Amino acid sequence: MPEATARVSHAEMANALRALAMDAVEKAKSGHPGLPMGAADFATVLFTKFLKYDAADPTWPDRDRFVFSAGHGSMLIYGLLHLTGVKGVTIEELQRFRQLESKTPGHPENFMTPGVETTTGPLGQGLATAVGFALAERMLAAQFGPELVDHHTYVLASDGDLMEGISQEAIALAGHLRLSKLIVLFDDNGITIDGPLSLSDSTDQLKRFEASGWRAVRVDGHDPKAVGRAIARARKADRPTLIACRTVIGFGAPKKAGTSKAHGEPLGAEELQAAKDALGWTHPPFVVPDPIRAAWAKAGRKGRAARKAWAERLEAAPAEVRAEFERRRRRALPAAFGEAMTDLKRRLVAEPQAVATRKASEIALEAIAPVLPELVLGSADLTPSNNTRTRGLDVIAPGSYGGRYVHFGIREHAMAAAMNGLALHGGFRPAGGTFLVFTDYARPAIRIAALAGIPVIYVMTHDSIGLGEDGPTHQPVEHLAALRAMPNLRVFRPADAVETAECWQLALERTDGPTVLALTRQGLPALRKDAGENRCAQGAYEIAGADGAKATLFASGSEVEIALAAKKLLDEKGMPTRVVSVPSLELFLAQPHSVRRQVVGDAPVRVAVEAAVRFGWDALIGDDGLFVGMKGFGASAPYKDLYRHFGITPEAVADRVLRTHNL
Ligand SMILES: Cc1ncc(C[n+]2csc(CCOP(=O)(O)OP(=O)(O)O)c2C)c(N)n1
């Protein structure tokens, strides 16, 4: 085994990681010791020999990315961050593993722990997110050149990561795009929770990756030389590489090693001591001797010279290049963005566009894309339906990364995860499309974006029964409610072209979380006549007033038109009615009470109109409010027939109001 320093061996360094993991899991009385113990050897090789990394600044832009996909083995990454010297990841924090607000939560969270690139835990998610990181690196390098952007993306993945369906979407995309700087270290231990992998899987992973355009090799994951050779070759490959590192889960534990018993529970005092004896680790819990610490600290400084050289290159770059690089890193919008939005809204008022909001979104993007070079657009094979590809946007292709449009293929889940990676890498604001109903196919990645506060944008068209003939499999009914229920996810359902522009602006101005734009397939009238303030910003506003209103109709998206027509009928019948457009129900419900009271008003009858289920609307209309919308799934028919069939019409709304009022 190669000597890590004159006095400290590779084995001692790897054993330090093992010991910390065993001790922390034991102290927490919960956690996963098996993976850190098994993967410690190849992780040590990566960090000591290859990773371009400086623990003094774990966020410098041109660092290699290390994505810890098998999040349950989190003690391994905490050990690595601690031993290499990342500020804040102290031994006390390791002793508080899995405790409230510690920097060492059960699964890695990038917003809790410096040095953690992305939140992982749901298996497969990190691997797919890493594809976004690797793609971002290529794209940013194409825009800023290799002097400023030239790094690798490494992933630590487990059997579970590779079994999840999202892994196939992700590796197919990475293989197709020839993301050769993506290197996956697979902790190939053949054990999962239920027992041996053979209980449920007989896939030849190497062949699977090869079939998707990867290089794939298998090595002894406990042989540092073999691992080192494999990584060195992978770095020269013209394709992404899978390195299956054969390991023993719980390496060193005499009774539990190689069994699922090592996976997810403390070893227990006796087995822990026996493991330490077997490994020759004689130090008390949480104690790492100084020479071993020093060797790890040295590994933590390995990338310092590279970081400094990079900083000098940035310093030497032309001022405007530097400013642009920094602006994009800060996620600050350029001044031209605000101007473009003001112009766009003025234009939309001067020349009203009666179009589907998916078309309005395209119009907005035509104005935004030229002034926002960080905007990356794409679709999961619904480009002509989502209207996400604007003029002049080149397509990202294998070996050609200068464009800004990604054909993600029919891979909603990997698209959403890759969008997370593109955004987390820095330098990009991704927006990807599919049908709203297929947010279900992307939901776990959407949830990571919401949890980790990643500012990605989902362009979700065909947002109701208004999509018509494709029928109930394609017609979302519960999706708006389900998405609104997710903390920190903002859902917008604009009613016309002006609202669509406003919602795009709000989505892009947001830097602390994701946004869904729910857009129609069917054409809608131009409703808004004002181009001034962004009225969608408070989630809801009065779009049509009435003196002495007896009823208020709340509606979103395509149903605002219906509410306005119902108001006309009701006004004529002597029932003054106002209409409130609700582009974002949850944003509105988060407004101060005074704002809500003013917008909600005091008309005695409250009605919500939305071609979706009622769930969630009671917070606005009360449980005695009227709801005109959907109760079950949709049906297949031309959309106007569907609206009539399900009773979502101006006449039906007016009728319900009059009947209630006359009670
Ligand atoms: C999407 C998802 N499903 C289920 C789990 C629960 N879970 C955690 S680890 C694991 C599998 C463990 O097997 P492996 O990935 O090989 O990890 P190892 O046993 O080697 O630590 C499962 C099912 C999860 N984290 N994510």
Three-state SS for 223-237 is CHHHHHHHHHHHCCC
CA dist 89 and 85 (Å) reads 8
| pLDDT score recorded for residue 660 | 87
CA dist 187 and 645 (Å) reads 55
400 strand-pairing partners? 397
Q: Assess whether the C-beta atom of 72 lies below 6 angstroms from ligand 1.
A: yes
| pLDDT band (50, 70, 90) for residue 655 | very high
188 C-alpha vs ligand 1 centroid, how far in Å?
Answer: 13
How many CB atoms lie under 10 A from the CB of residue 281?
21
Best mutation site among 69, 158, 186, 448 for ligand 1 pocket (most ligand atoms within 8 Å of CB): 158
Instruction: Mention every residue, 6+ apart, whose C-beta is less than 8 A from residue 361.
Output: 387, 388, 459, 461, 500, 504, 517, 519
196 strand-pairing partners? 191
158 C-alpha vs ligand 1 centroid, how far in Å?
Answer: 8
189 C-alpha vs ligand 1 centroid, how far in Å?
Answer: 12
Q: Assess whether the C-beta atom of 70 lies below 6 angstroms from ligand 1.
A: yes
- Give the position, in ligand 1's atom list, of the atom nearest the Cα of 71: 25
| pLDDT band (50, 70, 90) for residue 3 | very low
Q: Assess whether the C-beta atom of 477 lies below 6 angstroms from ligand 1.
A: no
Q: Assess whether the C-beta atom of 106 lies below 6 angstroms from ligand 1.
A: no
How many CB atoms lie under 10 A from the CB of residue 37?
34
Chain centroid offset of residue 277 CA = 43
Q: Assess whether the C-beta atom of 121 lies below 6 angstroms from ligand 1.
A: yes
Angle at 190 between CA 188 and CA 191, to 5 degrees: 120
26 C-alpha vs ligand 1 centroid, how far in Å?
Answer: 20
Q: Is 315 a catalytic residue?
A: no
| pLDDT score recorded for residue 6 | 60
pTM: 0.98
E-assigned strands of 445-507?
A: 457-461, 490-492
- Find tokens 């004689």 and name the residue: 282
How many CB atoms lie under 10 A from the CB of residue 292?
22
Taking only the tens place, the pLDDT of each residue in 43-57 is 999 999 999 999 999
- Give the position, in ligand 1's atom list, of the atom nearest the Cα of 190: 16
Best mutation site among 127, 161, 192, 447 for ligand 1 pocket (most ligand atoms within 8 Å of CB): 192
516 phi, psi to nearest 5 deg? -100, 130
30 C-alpha vs ligand 1 centroid, how far in Å?
Answer: 15
CA distances from 413 to 293, 430, 438, 524 (A): 41, 14, 9, 30
594 C-alpha vs ligand 1 centroid, how far in Å?
Answer: 47
Q: Assess whether the C-beta atom of 192 lies below 6 angstroms from ligand 1.
A: yes
Q: Assess whether the C-beta atom of 189 lies below 6 angstroms from ligand 1.
A: yes
- Find tokens 């007896």 and name the residue: 550
CA distances from 461 to 465, 642, 658 (A): 12, 18, 34
Closest C-alpha to ligand 1, atom 18: 192
9: helix, strand or coil: strand
- Find tokens 């939901």 and name the residue: 443
| Class of residue 544 by CB neighbours under 10 A (exposed 0-12, middle 13-18, buried 19+) | middle
Catalytic residue among 412, 502, 559, 610: 412
Predicted confidence (pLDDT) at residue 661 exceeds the cutoff of 90: no
| pLDDT score recorded for residue 1 | 41
DSSP state of 659: H
Pairing verdict, β 215-220 and 241-246 = parallel
Convert 246-309 into a string of H (helix), E (strand) and C (coil).
ECCCCCCCCCCCCCHHHCCCCCCHHHHHHHHHHHCCCCCCCCCCHHHHHHHHHHHCCCHHHHHH
Tokens of 560: 């605002």
| pLDDT score recorded for residue 392 | 87
| pLDDT band (50, 70, 90) for residue 533 | very high
* Average pLDDT across the chain, whole number: 97
